[in-house]
Amino acid sequence: MLIADNITHFARVLRTAGLQVGPDRVLTGIAAVQAVGLDRRDDVRAALAAVMLDRHEQEVTFDAAFDAFFRDPKLLEQLMYALLPKISGRGEKHRPPRNNRMAEALAAPRAPPPPPPTGPQTAKEELQFETTFTFSDRERLQRADFETMTADEYTLAKALAERLPPPVLPVRLRRHEAAAGGRIDLRRTLQAMARQPHTLQPAYTCAGQALPPIVVLLDISGSMERYARLFLHYVHGLTRRHLRVHTFTFGTRLTNITRCLRHRDPDVALKLADEQVKDWKGGTRIATALQAFNHTWARRVLGGNAAVLLVTDGLDHDEGGQLSHAAAQLHRMAHQLVWLNPLLRFEGFQPLAGGVRALLPHVDRFLPMHNLASLADLARALRAPAVRPSTLMH
């Protein structure tokens, strides 16, 4: 019975860390451990991994959970051990980085808050100290501005942004694929008749569909820092579900962080991006960044009806018309250029800044990006008929 309890707790840790381990796998894991026995630790690890993992990339999370959970037979002691600070010294650089998600999954549960005192002020005090996210809280969070969120709300918003749908629609491909209905595929039909002449079973085909490539140009200057951080979680979720996503950051220079965001763990992915990007919360040189992208990367990543998401507030000076020229060149090479601007959250927004007026004539869409609802509505907004953003300048 003790073995079953430990495996059940271990499955809960894996679920908290993001693995899909249901009750059926718990029962199968108990049977597998009983079959191999408890004599060898590696046999137990292999038995549980065989029934609880779906993909090869899940092994890193599983191994971290197994080593931490079964280090000590007493669950409480090993939980406390996971929370102890790690000693740095010789050989530290050869150790794998600490898994923040696994540390959070193994953390001891928080003590329940003390019961509220009875009296006329009970309802008011409960409302003041309530920190759990109910359904109404999540609904309100969809409309909350990233700049005004609390730390807990911002953490939840980052997790929700990872699961938002892609902002582009599938495009029709020239290559056809097998289908249940549609146009008859004469070649496959005749091939089937050659193998079985006494039967006539028509085969059908239809044009295939695929999501076009997405290129993200993200402003990480000081005025965009909080929006950029959360938008990177949104882009990380897109990169994990849609491989053809290319991400570039720019402040005073252009940096390609596409490979960083391909890591499965968002915490590790953003840490790698932080190490590579050197101009966080600095100035803004939009014209220089667009010129560098057009010269070095445009021909490499803008094929196949690629859509460009330009995320910036446009607060830059258009000295000598360089920004307008670079934006026009980018617009000619991209299938669709969408500008996401957090300043559109203000109802009385007017394109008064020089950078905004230089960019507006060369973009296909001009949309807000300041909360989760605006990110979730990107796909719906792109389906609507295009309205030239240059009309805002009149």
**pTM exceeds 0.95 for this model:** no
pLDDT, average across residues 238-243: 81
Pairing of strands 307-311, 336-341: parallel
Task: Single out the residue in 161, 192, 210 at which a domain terminates.
Answer: 210
Q: In this model, does residue 14 exceed pLDDT 60?
A: yes
- How much is the pLDDT for 222? 82
pLDDT average, residue stretch 118-122: 49
| 227 and 196 belong to one structural domain | no
Domain count, the chain: 3
What separation in angstroms does the CA of 12 have from each of 32, 38, 58, 90, 103? 18, 21, 15, 34, 14
* Same domain as 101, residue 226: no
Q: Are residues 268 and 223 in the same domain?
A: yes
What CATH number is attached to the domain comprising 278? 3.40.50.410
Q: Does 163 or 43 have the greater pLDDT score?
A: 43
Cβ–Cβ < 8 Å for 29, 48: yes
Q: Whole domain around residue 368: which residue ranges?
A: 214-393
- Phi, psi values for residue 98, rounded to 5°: -65, 135
Query: Does the residue 81 lie in any domain?
Result: yes
**pLDDT, tens digit, for every residue of 73-111?**
444 344 444 434 444 444 444 444 444 455 555 554 555
Residue 163 resides in a domain: no
Indicate whether 197 and 275 sit together in one domain.
Answer: no
Are residues 372 and 278 part of one domain?
yes
Same domain assignment for residues 266 and 287: yes
Same-domain check for residues 294 and 205: no
Q: Which amino acid is at 137?
A: D
